[in-house]
Amino acid sequence: MRIEVLLDVKTTLGEGPIWDVEQQRLYFIDSVDGRIFRCTADGTEIRAWDVPGKIGSLALRSNGLGAICSLEGGFYTLDFNSGDCELFYDPEPNLPTNRLNDGKVDRKGRFFVGSMDTMEDDASGALYRVDPDFSVTKVDDGIICSNGPCFSPDDKIFYFQDTWTGEIWAYDYDIETGKLNNRRTFAKVDGSNGGAADGSTVDAEGYLWNALVYDGKLTRFTPDGDVDRIIDMPVKKVTSVNFGGPNLDVLYVTSMAKPPLPRFPEDGPQRGSLFAIYDLGITGVPEPRFGA
C-alpha cells in the first residue's frame, strides 16, 4: 500500500469524492468555498466550477446535463457547460443556521442527502430523499451533523451517521420504494483521540470504509460492524473516501485545510490535499447517477 498526494489544492473543507465511470473522472468539492473540482485518475485535466453558497455534496445527472447539488440554500441544478446553478427546492427555509451536507445516489437514481446545524450543536438536521422527478421527502430527523450515506452492494442496507453520536447506523433499505426502516447501530467509532465519523463508502466485498476526521484514520468495517483494518493518514482532518480509477482500485481521500470551528485542531503542511491510496488489493463499486 502507498499513499500519495494527488492534488495539493488546499481545499478549506474538501469533501464528497465521487468517481464517475462514464467519464473516467473524479469529482470532489470544497464545501466552505463553494467549489466543485474535476480531474482524471492521475490528477490532471483539472476543472473547477463555483456554486452560489456552501456545498455539501453533488450527484451527476443521468441525462448528461450536469449535476444536482446540495447547497446551504437548498437543492440546485448545475449546468457544467454554462455554469448556471438554479434552486429547485429548499427543504429548510425556516432553519437559517442549517445547511445541506453529505449525499449519495442509490441504484434507482435517488439522491439521499442529510442536513446539519452549522455550529454542530443542535439536532435540527434531517435526512432527505430526492427522487428522479425532483420531489423531496424527509425520511429521518433529529440529526446534528449528517454524514457518510452509502449503500450495501446488494441494495438491502443504507448506512448513515450523525457524526457526533459516535455511531454509524444501518437501516433496512427497500430499493424498489426508497423507504428506510429499522435504524440500528452498525458500528461504534473510536473517538478517544477526538476523532468522529465523517464520509463513507462501501467496497465490492460489502465492507464499509469511514474517514475518522480529526484523528487522521481510515477504518474498514466488516459487514458485521467489526473493525477489519485501520490506515493512518498523513493529515488529521480526513473527511471522505471513494474508490475510483479505471479499475476502481484506487481509494481517493479528501481533507480540509482549515477546521470549521475554533475548537477543532490545526494540521500539517499537507492539509487540504486530495490523496490517493494504491495497492490495497480491494475494489469499489460504481457510483450511480441521479435518475434525471
What per-residue confidence (pLDDT) applies to 72?
Answer: 95
For the record, the C-alpha cell of 27 comes out as: 469529482
Question: How big is the chain, counted in residues?
Answer: 292
Q: Which residues are annotated as a binding site for substrate?
A: 99, 101
**Range 262-269 contact pairs with CB under 8 angstroms and sequence separation of 24 or more:** 264/214, 264/237, 265/194, 265/214, 265/236, 265/237, 267/235, 267/236, 267/237, 268/234, 268/235, 268/236
Q: Which residues are annotated as a binding site?
A: 15, 99, 101, 147, 198
Q: Which residues are annotated as a binding site for a divalent metal cation?
A: 15, 147, 198
- Domains plus CATH for the chain? 2-278 (2.120.10.30)
What are the φ/ψ torsions at residue 163 (nearest 5 degrees)? -45, -45
Query: Could you tell me which of 2, 16, 46 has the C-alpha nearest to residue 238?
Result: 16
What per-residue confidence (pLDDT) applies to 188?
Answer: 94
Which of 106, 198, 203, 215 is catalytic? The answer is 198
Residues 6+ apart with CB under 8 A from 124: 95, 97, 98, 115, 117, 144
The answer to whether 131 is a known catalytic residue is no
Residues 200 and 150: beta-carbon distance below 8 Å: yes
What per-residue confidence (pLDDT) applies to 239?
Answer: 97
What per-residue confidence (pLDDT) applies to 191?
Answer: 87
Amino acid at 169: W
Residues 149 and 102: beta-carbon distance below 8 Å: yes
Q: pLDDT tens digits for the chain (292 residues)?
A: 999 999 999 999 999 999 999 999 999 999 999 999 999 999 999 999 999 999 999 999 998 889 999 999 999 999 999 999 999 999 999 999 999 999 999 999 999 999 999 998 999 999 999 999 999 999 999 999 999 999 999 999 999 999 989 999 999 999 999 999 999 999 999 888 889 999 999 999 999 999 999 999 999 999 999 999 999 999 999 999 999 999 999 999 999 998 777 677 678 899 999 999 999 999 999 999 999 9
What per-residue confidence (pLDDT) applies to 65?
Answer: 83
